[in-house]
Structures are given as C-alpha cells and as structure tokens.
Structure 1
C-alpha cells in the first residue's frame, strides 16, 4: 500500500466500520437466506443508476464466503492501484467481516484481516485513531494464538501480521506525538521482523512493511524521544540500504537526506547537515530540474542550514540558495503562492538580521499585495509583514513611516487577537517608544 499524506482525525468515530459491521450481523444467516446487503444476489432489482461496483458485487452474490473473501482481497489490491483509497478501505472492512464469518473472531486469520484494516486506516485514510483501535484488536488475538502449535506457514503469516500491526501502532502513536509509545511498538515490530527472517531464512516476500519503512519509523520515533544518536544511526542505516539497492542518485534519498540533516542540526553539527542537504539538492536538480517545487524546497532548507551555521563566510551561499528557491517557487507555483511568500519572508528576516534592511524592506513591500490576495486584508501574515516593515523603518530612523505601518499592524492584531494579546501589547509598546 502506498501511503497518502497523513492527517490527524478530528473525531474518533468509525462510521464505515459500524456500517459494515451491522451488515456482518445479517451475513450470519445461511447463504440461501442472504438477500444481498453484503453482496446483492442476481434476484435483486436493477436500476439504471447501478454502478460498475454494484454490478460486480451482484455477479458474486451467490458465491460461498471463502470465494467472496478471495474476491474482496483481489479487489483491494486493484482499488489501491487505482488510488481509490476510501473504496479500498471499505473493501478491507468487508474482508474482516468475511474472515469473521468463515474463521470466527478468535482465529489468527481474522486477526490478520484486522491488521490489514488497521494498516489501511493509517496509510489509505490517514486516521491513526481508527488504525490503533483495529491494531489492538488484532494484537489481542494474535498474541494468544501464537502460543498454539501451528505449521511454519501459519507462523510466517502470524509474524507478518504482528510486524504490520506493531508498525501501524508505532506510526499511529508517532503521528499523535507519543514518542515513547511509538518507539516501544516499533521495537516489537523490529523483533518480529528478525524472527520472521530467521524462520524464512531471510525471505520476507509478501510483507507490506519493508525493512526500510521500519528503520525510518524507528529513526523518527528515536527523534521523538530525543535520542539523537540513535535516530542518526537508524537514518544512516536506511540511507545505506537505499544506496545499496537503488544507487546514490535515486530520488528516494531526498527525504532521507532532509531528515538526517535535521538530526545533525539538532546535534549542532551544521557542517554535516549542509553536506546532506547539498546531496539532496543535487539529486533534486537531476531528478526534477533546477526549476521545480522539489528543488525549491530543498534549496530553501539549504539556505537556512547555511544561515544556522552562523559562519559569516556562508553569507553568500545563504543569499544564493534563498534567491534560487524563491525564483523556482515563483516560476512553478506563482508569486501569490503561500510557499513562495513564506520563503520570501524568511529571506527578508535573514537580510534584516545581517543589516541589509533596505533590501529586506523592498522585498517585503513587493510581496505585501500578494499576501493580501492570498491571506486577506486582516490576516496574521499581513500583520506580521507590516510589523517587520515598521521595525525596519524605525531602525533606519524613518519614524513617520514606521508609525504609519505599525498602526495598521496594530489595528489588524486587535481584530484578530484582541487588545490584551502579547503581540498587540508588543506593537503598542513599540508605538509608544516611537512617539516618545
């Protein structure tokens, strides 16, 4: 399964599961009595609005449950391939229901279906709360079943399911900012992965979680519990594995170089962070060209890495990469795009810090109209830009202009935050100082 961008759900209700589970209660009736709520029979009345999916289900309506399960499993793979994530997730629910009917709730195959569903909620839907719920259910069954005598084939499948559910639990905890719980779950996934490799003599074919996925997740979890050296070791291992498998120019390395550079920055090893980002930038240029959003993003990170080093000799590099990033964003995403405006703002802040206030003011003034269009007249970003312009004018001794800009800023801040907010008070204090 390919992971979509993950998001944290605002609610924990699992309506798809509730809906399909209710259907499963009706499916417990003998086959000849089923009326087609789960899979409609050929006798159900057709309408002109029947979709292709409904027709396909109708064709399988008189199958036995095991055949329906096999059909659903194939359908999941096809829907994922077609990037129909919601439909694929619903089909995974159907697989759980059919597994429960065929094998019973306490069977490891039912737990395996739940583990697949949990992983689907995580990667297809980006819903860690639901993923955790189903992974926990699968774990309770698998851990009790594992103690029973089974064949090597069953042990292999059980270990695969354990790797998947512990990986799912670990990433779900990580997405909800619970680093310790994430790390513990991912360690269990790692132990089961090693046991699986021993059982299969290194052949883990058919496992949806790769060693690279697990290593990267462990690195992120280590970072979440502030174990920087351990996080670094995991990312170095992941990078080495990718280079060994796909070469040192593969685009898969870009995200790894970005993350390991962040770890090195936290370790105050700015020189090494810059080297990693330079490698990422080189791959971006060869993979996507110099004028692309991907190259613009890494260019901005490289500019900030040079700036964070604090080395005056790096000032030219900071400016070069900021300008390259801004030009690439403007050419590909447009001058009014929020990514473009954000990097311009960061560049202006840096220019102001090193004393190039006139250039910073010019860029901020040029971007103000685009910010009003993108964020609105009374927005935090516009207020922040007006404040920065006002402080630059004040530092240059242009008191009247500074007073005008800061009053406009204060008016917006009061509308957004109120009179007593720290930002409003800060602007008031600066205005008082200017008036004196």
Structure 2
C-alpha cells in the first residue's frame, strides 16, 4: 500500500541511490538525527562499519536485504540484542528506500516492536513502534487495492494489535489489552477467508489470543470468562496435536482457581501440568516449580490426608531445585522455607529447627550475614525454642536476631521493637536472669581494686 504516487517514489529511490555514498560519510549522523528512534544513528553506523564492504559499494536496497536476512539468523541463534540492532537498521533503511508512508516501513516498525516485546520484554518501546506502524497505515485499505495488498495490510494490522495487546497487558492496561486482542481475533478470521493464513496458522494465533485474554479477564476478576478462554486454548491445542503446550494453560487455570480461594479445584489442573512437565523434562525447573505449587495447594486444603501428599511434592521440588540450581540458590532456599512453614503447621518442630539451622550458613553465604533472611530465620528458630521451653537458647537466638534487626531497620522499627520486647521478656526468666547475674559477678572488679581506686581519687579510706 502506498501513500505517495509511484513516480514520486521512483524519483525518490533514484535520488537516494545517487546520494548513498555521501550518506555513508559523517553526514549520515546529521541526516538521521531527526529520526525519532533514540540511538538509531549510532547503531546504524556501527553496523555499517562492522559489515565487510564489497568491492562495489552496496546500495541501500542490498543493505536492507542483508540486514533483514541477518536479523532472522540472529533470531535462530538466539542472539536477540544483535537481532534488534539489525532491525533498527532495517527501519532506517526502509525509510530511505521506500520513503515515509510506505507499507514496507510500517512492516519494519512492527518487526522491531515485536522483537522488543518478545525478546526483551520492553512494552513501552513495543508500543512506540507499533503506534508508528499504525500511523503509517490507513484504517482500511482502499476499495481498489488488490487482494494480495489487502492480505499484506491485514497481516501488518494483526501484528500491530497483537503487539499492542501484549504490551498493554504487561503495563496492566487491561481494557486496552482486551480491545486490541479482540481486534486481532476479528482480523484472523478475515485473513483466513482471504487465504492469507492457513488453518494451522489461524489456530495457533487463536491460541495466542485466547491465552492473553484469559490473563486479562483473570486480572479483571472475571474468573469464569478467563476459564472459558483457557478451555478454548485446550481444545485448539488438541486439534493441533500439541499437548505439550497445554502445560502453561493448566497452570493459568490453577492460578485462576487459587485467586478465587478454590485451592482444592487448583489441584487437578496442576496435576495435569505436572505430568506434562515431567514427560518433557523429568528433572527440569518447570516440573520443580509445578511440584512446589502442588505442595502449596495440598497444604492449603484443610484435610489431614493431604499432608503426606504435600510433603511428597515439597521434597520432590527441593530435590529438583538442589540438583538444577544448587542448595544455596535463592529459589531453593525460598522453597525450603515454605516447606519449613508446612512442617511447623503440622507440628514437626524438631524437623523444622533442624532444617532451618542447617540453612543458616547457606543464607549467610547467599544473602549476607546482616540480611533480612538470616534475621527472619533466627526469629523463627527462637520462636520454636520458646514453645519447647528452651528459654536460655531462645534468649541467645533472639538476641542474635535483635542485633541484626537493629542494624537493618534501626531500634525504633516495629520489627526491632517486637523482638526487643521478646528478648526483655526472656531476660526476666529465672534461668536467664540467674545466668546474667553470674556473668556480672565474674566481670565485677575485686573489692580491693575498687577501694584502691577510691583512695587515689581522694576519698576517705575509713569505711563505717
């Protein structure tokens, strides 16, 4: 689709071909300084210098083809930063070759927007470039446009709406996200009717749209509509014969149920997701994460029979995390803390204290000696020691916790004051107070030393 006449575009291309040698000098910075992409000039120049120049200097069209091809190669090899740099160059070259208002320039902006969203998770940049692409397209192709051109325009619009919908979801702009995804859904049907996409491509895109809509509806509190979108995804994946992709859908369904306080109903989709994850990678992180979720779900359900199952999934998750990440990793230690809370709730205090004491040196290595994680662990251990009647040991443990909290939060913080009150209460216990008196007597100076010091200060040596 062109927004300027063909002769004018041809003239523009001829002009740029003749001036390309000049633009590769320092004046290229001046030429592109007005272009609205930050850092575009430096990236473009760096790519020009990096590429080996042929004997006869390449034209802008040849450069565009080469950068376009190389960007795809970088995607295949997962070199995403390099891919984005080449896509930035493609935007500049597309503007140079085709001029403002051309469909090719809109497509270049859309590719860059999708890369920012998918490879970097940068919604603001993705929105910026998808908005530029949208501005370059009219609201609808003119009636004289051929079917092929109409397919190209609709494909570009589809990518724009999907990118804007995904970016808006990341930014929690839920209404905008839902609106864009519904527009994308309508375009998919029209593209399929025009033969622009195959049946398989249509269903893949519908899975993407329904997945995003389910998350939008979940955040809006529309749990039933969110579950309906999830079930639609499962139906499409079954037709596509891709059961492995259903793992994330089942996890979304479990999250929806848990958000509604229905932990018991979250167990079934989590179990299905767990089975899929283990079939794909028996010791993978996905399986470890889902096992942790299952453990939390079973521990939440108020049925004693589920405690043994919860313990099983906690231990499975910990084994997988320790094997994959190591025992000192923050994720492993957090899962271990969840397991310890479960042990505490089920009356297994001795096992709780044993694990938490063993984790102290790992937490000191990972988080630091003066960290909230170490202070919280000491506080939990001290609390259990108090309930078990180990007052002396509890006083020692809580005092260590207090020292760290004073440094972290200050003496007036509510956490520090609460711990201080506990230490003061423990200090009044006979076994602690007696031990403190004995320590004071051992450190008290001898009577003769006190008397000698008194006399040197000019005091009366007679004691009545």
TM range (shorter): 0.7 to 0.9
Shift of 1:204: 6.9
> Residues 85-143 of structure 1: CA distance to partner in whole angstroms, max 9, x if unpaired?
11111111111112212222222221121111111111122222111111111112224
* Structure possessing the higher radius of gyration over alpha carbons: 2
- Structure 2 SS opposite 1:306: helix
Aligned twin of 1:348: 340
Alignment partners' CA distance in 2, 1:422 and 1:230: 43
Counterpart mapping for 1:51-62 below 5 A: 56-59=51-54, 62=57
Shift of 1:347: 0.6
Alignment partners' CA distance in 2, 1:208 and 1:275: 26
> Residues 144-187 of structure 1: CA distance to partner in whole angstroms, max 9, x if unpaired?
46456422212212211122122212222222233333222222
> Residues 47-73 of structure 1: CA distance to partner in whole angstroms, max 9, x if unpaired?
xxxx99856452397343333322222
TM-score by length of 2: 0.78
Taking only aligned residues, the RMSD between alpha carbons, in angstroms, comes to 2.9
Change in 2 beyond 3 A, CA 1:204/1:141: farther
Does 2:119 correspond to 1:124?
A: yes
Aligned twin of 1:283: 276
- Structure 2 SS opposite 1:336: coil
Cα pair 2:17 2:59 within 8 Å, conserved: no
TM-score by length of 1: 0.82
Does 2:355 correspond to 1:360?
A: no
Cα pair 1:180 1:225 within 8 Å, conserved: no
- Structure 2 SS opposite 1:59: coil
Listed as ranges, the gaps of 5+ residues in structure 1 are 1-25, 40-50
Listed as ranges, the gaps of 5+ residues in structure 2 are 1-14, 29-45, 429-464
Q: Which moved more, 1:141-150 or 1:361-370?
A: 141-150
Alignment partners' CA distance in 2, 1:268 and 1:197: 40
- Structure 2 SS opposite 1:187: helix
Aligned twin of 1:18: none
Which of 266, 281, 298 is equivalent to 1:306?
Answer: 298
Aligned residues: 397
Which of 248, 252, 261 is equivalent to 1:255?
Answer: 248
> Residues 234-272 of structure 1: CA distance to partner in whole angstroms, max 9, x if unpaired?
122222222332354xx4232222222111222333333
Aligned twin of 2:261: 268
Change in 2 beyond 3 A, CA 1:230/1:156: same
Aligned twin of 1:30: 19
Does 2:215 correspond to 1:220?
A: yes
Cα pair 1:196 1:204 within 8 Å, conserved: no
Change in 2 beyond 3 A, CA 1:69/1:218: same
Cα pair 1:386 1:409 within 8 Å, conserved: yes
Shift of 1:77: 0.9
Alignment partners' CA distance in 1, 2:112 and 2:265: 41
